[in-house]
Chain A
Amino acid sequence: MADTTTKTALSDKEALNHSQTKKIRKNRGLDLTTRRNLMGYWFVLPFIIGLFFIYIPALVEAFRFSMSTIVMEEGTYRLESVGWALYHESLFVDPDFFRGIVESIGSMFLNVVIIIIYALIMATILNRNLAAKGFYRAILFLPVIVATGIVANAENFTITTSGVSDIESGSAAIAGGVFSEFDIELLLMSLNFNDTLTGIVVSAIGNLYSIVTCSGVQLIIFLAGLQSISPAIYESATVEGATWWESFWKITIPMISPLILVNAVYTIVDSFTQYGNQVMDGIYKLISAGDYAIASAQSFVYLAVVGVFIAIVVPIINKFVFYENK
């Protein structure tokens, strides 16, 4: 077909046309859009390099740990393979591990629902033109700032100096770290609050508090989302006679729904991995006891559980997410 075209073009003695046709044929199957898309590789490259040179090797090595007994030698270590024995042990022998997982799942559901609703409501309120709203925003974000701060570190100090992993470093600190009632207990204790009083204060405000404090990150994410919604949309809705309530459900919720997904994923992960979670406590205990192999095995089981939940929840929420471009 293309050849006939070329011949016709030649017979018409249009040399220019000929060269153009040739060029098009050379790039057949690689149109402009595809080539533009290939630029995507360059943009994502720095991230992939980091992922594949630092994160993935570490993950693979941790997986090897979970399948082996670690024999310490001078200056290094040797792995003796034991197959799936450690997985079997964590799942069927360890009495606490499985129970811990079940309980974590229960509290995760509660956390996700309550935290997302609370964060969304608060973000909507804070996005209004309240007096001194900047002040309230800062205050409601305070727990996140405190959580990864000096209080947490003072507590971790014994762990870090004993040569185990530095829980608070780098990306871990960014991804994790939400203030729980455990932290307020630490804070009060490190400030020499009386023991009995600490107990009363902690249990009284504990439940409410842990939800409020766990939602700092989600709240800020929602706020950023609300601020990205174009006011023109609201304006035209108001002109058409929509009430605030209607605009909230018909504009705010759909526009912010992609971030509901982000927050759901973040809350699920956070709820599973925060301090004070039974399974995590168990894993930390194993690590400080030097049982890296079984700690790795438990972590991989746990990872699988969290992964299954993400894999179930994300598609469900995604069904309700509104993407303007699709």
Chain B
Amino acid sequence: MARVKKSRVNRSAGGDISLLLVVLLFAFLMVIPMYYAIIQSLKPLDELWIFPPRFWVANPTFKNFQDLFQNLNDSWVPFSRYIFNTLFVSIVGTFGHVIIASMAAYSLSKKRFMGSNFVFSIIVLSLMFTTAVTGIPTFMVMKNMHFIDTYWSIILPAFSSSLGLYLMKQHMEAMVKDAIIEAAKIDGAGEMRIFWTIVMPMVKPAWLTLIVFSFQGLWNATGATYIYSEDLKSLNYAVSQIVSAGIARAGTAAASIVFMMILPIAVFVFSQSSIVETMSSAGIKE
């Protein structure tokens, strides 16, 4: 893939280094707040309040993390329950969203049927509307469908998030050639087979990216509007409650920021590292 093209191109080590410097500069900007959060989460109480704030720790301690887990364990519902809730919602929601959005995208990008443009317009429209305002009406809809206080109130809206569909549609339009679908049809493949064994592998980078977005969103969804049973609430909700206790818990807050970021980052790194070569034009001779 990209690597092949690089090695052929004449470029100097100097160019490489200057590019690296540009990336490092931006990466540095991104890292400062994160670095500060991590440092802060490792500071013991007396160091937290030193002025001016220090960018290093003299006596690193895991006390803040201990406090965080202590607080979570003391809660009414076992800590593991919150983790299960969030994991369940994130995994089911992400899985469903990727499949539903990809199927719809396949159909909207590769098929012409009556109303397809209309459906697509509504999808773009729904990208634009602020969710804050549809909050109350959405609550009513959820209530009428008896989804309130169930996992579905978070999972179902995530299924039909428009951004994912739009991303998949553009990707399929650009990367999947009609010729290869045509060839599969002639060889007798059914629609499902074409979708799963030809289209989806070709747009692997797209849905791996979608997994990141979706997981990221669901992992951080509190669902506080739709869920009031304590044992269905999300990890994020539980942690937010601890953090919102104010400055007395500054160290714990920093610890929870770090704690809540671990899994989304892991998912991101995993998905980016599994984007290997996708030979979108393999199998076609022109």
Tell me the A residues contacting B by CB distance below 8 Å: 36-44, 46-48, 50-51, 53-62, 65, 122, 125-131, 134, 136-146, 148-154, 156-157, 160-161, 164-177, 184, 187-188, 190-194, 197, 205, 208-209, 212-213, 217, 220-221, 223-235, 238, 243-244, 247, 255-259, 261-262, 265-266, 269, 272-273, 280, 283-284, 287, 292, 295-296, 299, 302-303, 306-307, 310, 323-325
Contact = CB atoms under 8 A, between A and B. Distances in A.
Given A128-B6, A191-B40, A150 B19 contact: no
29 contacts: A37-B111, A44-B108, A44-B116, A46-B103, A50-B159, A51-B126, A55-B160, A58-B137, A59-B134, A129-B2, A140-B30, A145-B264, A149-B261, A154-B244, A169-B223, A174-B216, A174-B217, A175-B162, A187-B37, A197-B53, A220-B209, A235-B8, A258-B173, A280-B132, A284-B132, A287-B135, A307-B128, A310-B128, A324-B174
A231 B126 contact: no
Given A65-B136, A269-B128, 14 more contacts: A43-B111, A55-B157, A58-B140, A129-B3, A150-B236, A154-B243, A170-B218, A170-B221, A170-B223, A188-B33, A190-B250, A261-B170, A262-B167, A299-B130
B145 A53 contact: yes
Interface in B233-286: 236-237, 239-241, 243-244, 247, 250, 253-254, 256-257, 260-261, 264-265, 268-269, 272-273, 275, 277-282
A171 B217 contact: yes
Q: Which one of A57, A169, A247 has the highest number of Cβ atoms from chain B below 10 Å of its Cβ?
A: A169
B164 A174 contact: yes
B217 A148 contact: yes
B106 interface: yes
Contacts of A122: 23, 26
A231 B222 contact: no
Q: Which one of A141, A172, A212, A258 has the highest number of Cβ atoms from chain B below 10 Å of its Cβ?
A: A172
Contacts of A152: 220
Contacts of B101: 47
Given A145-B261, A169-B222, A266-B163, A227 B275 contact: yes
Given A125-B23, A221-B167, A287-B132, A238 B222 contact: no
A53 B144 CA distance: 11
A276 to B, nearest CB: 14
Top 3 A-B pairs ranked by shortest CB distance? A165-B135, A50-B160, A40-B111
A238 B112 contact: no
Contacts of A149: 220, 236, 257, 260-261, 264
B155 to A, nearest CB: 8
Interface in B102-127: 103-104, 106-108, 110-113, 116, 119, 122-127
B227 to A, nearest CB: 9
B65 interface: no
A224 B37 contact: no
Contacts of B57: none
B111 A36 contact: yes
B171 A265 contact: no
Contact of B125 (A171, A176, A217, A307): A307
Contacts of A145: 216, 261, 264-265, 268
A287 B129 CA distance: 15
Contacts of B6: 128-129
Contacts of A233: 281
A217 B209 CA distance: 9
Contact of A130 (B11, B23, B154, B170): B23
Nearest to B23: A136
A162 B93 CA distance: 27
Nearest to A209: B29
Contacts of B29: 205, 208-209, 212
Contacts of A224: 171, 205-206, 208-209, 275
Nearest to B39: A191
Nearest to A148: B220
Contacts of A307: 125, 128
A130 B158 contact: no
B52 A194 contact: yes
A227 B206 CA distance: 9
B37 to A, nearest CB: 6
A192 B250 contact: yes
B244 A157 contact: yes
A128 B37 CA distance: 30
Nearest to A245: B9
Contacts of B223: 166, 169-170
Contacts of A160: 222, 224-225
A43 B112 CA distance: 12
B141 A54 contact: yes
Given A57-B141, A167-B131, A39 B268 contact: no
Contacts of A226: 2
B48 A192 contact: yes
